[in-house]
A = this chain, B = another copy of it.
């Protein structure tokens, strides 16, 4: 790791996302469109992830008021290559805009990376904008390739 990591601020915690963490949706709006999702739909999705916890590992950061202030996802892909190897994928890291500068994103990346390691993944990958390469390098990641995408019209 090329930079030191401060401790989480007092009272802040990292824990698995729960079906009651509906406020996660507000946090995700810093990333992209979230759209209309009811509390019930949210709970069902998180419960489904929990039933598939070999694959899905969503985390949240809560503050000293127990409000969710950041979130992130690790999912684990089961492959054939590398002797039935597993690869972790980090997705949808979001930090509430008034919580920048507390290294919450870095804490999340390191926690998700550690889950992947403990589950036996041989690597973790993620895709980011060019401007965030430096941040992920400080989290121990290296540039590995090019992300390509195709979007479908609705």
Residues of chain A touching chain B, judged by Cβ–Cβ distance below 8 Å, are 24-25, 28, 31-37, 41-42, 45, 48-49, 55-56, 73, 75, 77-84, 89, 91-92, 113, 116-117, 121-130, 133, 136-137, 139-152, 154
Contacts and interface: CB of A to CB of B under 8 A. Distances in A.
Name the residue in A77, A122, A139 with the highest tally of chain B Cβ atoms < 10 Å from its Cβ. Answer: A77
B24 A80 contact: yes
A28 B127 contact: no
28 contacts: A28-B80, A28-B81, A32-B81, A33-B82, A33-B83, A34-B80, A36-B83, A41-B84, A42-B80, A81-B92, A89-B89, A113-B150, A121-B152, A123-B151, A124-B149, A124-B150, A125-B147, A125-B148, A125-B149, A128-B148, A130-B146, A133-B146, A133-B148, A139-B150, A141-B149, A142-B149, A143-B147, A147-B147
